[in-house]
Amino acid sequence: MVQAESSSLEPVAKRVYSYYPGCSLHASAKEFDVSAKLVCQKLGIELRELEDWICCGASAAHSTSHLLSLALPAHTLKQAGEKGLPLAVPCAMCFSRLRITLHELKKKETLDLVSRTLEKELSTDVTVESMLDVLANESISLPVTKPLERLKVACYYGCLLARPPEVIGCDDAENPQTMDRLMGRLGAEVADWGLKTSCCGAGVSFPRLDIVLKLSHRILSLARSTGADCIAVACPMCHANLDMYQKDMTAKHKEKTNLPVLYFTQLMGLALGFSPKELHLDRHLTDPLPMLREKGLA
């Protein structure tokens, strides 16, 4: 391959990934995209965004057409396969759809059907990694300049990074540790709590806000009760639900709900010395800056 020749000039240890941001990271979750890219750059991880990538179909495709829910991610898998690089995916929803599709395509019958849908020959010879797994790799050393001391973080994984564990590759679907260990390496204290993988209600957010409010409030209050200063997430849907509706919860429960919700990459960015502005920390509806200032991190 031509690429191989040019890459021989690069340092051997350099990690190169194809990058699939997904729709959210180009819109409402821009801060996830920005912070992930900054952190990767700092750690010597090169991300090459796939050109003209398309949506994974998310729960809309999954809930309405089995075939479509496999065909859309399969298109992305095909693109990634042609690049010959592992694919890094920050959004938990996209990651879940891609991994599940990859898993389903291992059945010959499904592979044939989806190939016919795309009118392309598909293979399952692709590696898909979540951005969390890419960055939590303990062989990557973290040049921490501003340790997250005094900060207690409740790591929230949600559904999509935990279940089904054998497909997703989760270490423990009831009490995962990947993000917890990563936060620990950045100097933060982590909360041991029991709703790390409980659902926030993402799938029905517009039509049944009542469900989202109930589930998300339960998660926020438990995290708060453990003494956590913030929640770390790796999913734009979880982020939206936990961050956006805290005012509604305050009104409903007559008790102030105010717990910042940050992407784990933003917390990494802070520890690696990036400024709150660079990390777009001003984009959250529940403002984390007062808390971060109080902790001496902003």
Complete DSSP assignment for 19-63:
E---TGGGTTTHHHHHHHHHHHHHTTEEEEEPTT-----HHHHHH
For residue 10, count other CB atoms closer than 10 A to its CB.
Answer: 10
- Rule CB under 8 A: say whether 249 interacts with other proteins: no
- Measured from the CB of residue 168, what is the shortest distance to other proteins in angstroms? 10
List the alpha helices (DSSP H) in 53-130: 58-64, 66-83, 92-104, 108-118
The one among 113, 140, 144, 298 contacting other proteins by CB under 8 A: 113
Point out which span in 38-46, 129-137, 186-194, 257-265 binds other proteins (CB under 8 A): 186-194
Q: Residue 58 or 135: which CB sits closer to other proteins?
A: 58
| CA distance linking residue 34 with residue 29, whole number of Å | 9
Site size for other proteins (CB under 8 A): 61
| Spacing of C-alpha 118 from chain mean position | 27
- Measured from the CB of residue 47, what is the shortest distance to other proteins in angstroms? 18
Written as six digits, the tokens of 124 are 């399952």
Beta partners for 231?
A: 154, 261
- Rule CB under 8 A: say whether 3 interacts with other proteins: no
Question: Distance between terminal CA atoms of the chain?
Answer: 46
The one among 159, 161, 223, 262 contacting other proteins by CB under 8 A: 159
Interface characters, 227-246, with other proteins (x: CB under 8 A): -----------------x--
- Rule CB under 8 A: say whether 207 interacts with other proteins: yes
| Cβ 297 vs Cβ 266: under 8 Å | no
- Rule CB under 8 A: say whether 289 interacts with other proteins: no
| CA distance linking residue 115 with residue 151, whole number of Å | 49
- Measured from the CB of residue 13, what is the shortest distance to other proteins in angstroms? 33
Interface ranges with other proteins (CB under 8 A): 23-24, 26-28, 30, 52-55, 57-68, 71-72, 75, 113, 116-119, 159, 163-165, 172-175, 192-195, 198-199, 201-204, 206-208, 210-211, 215, 222, 225, 244, 282-285
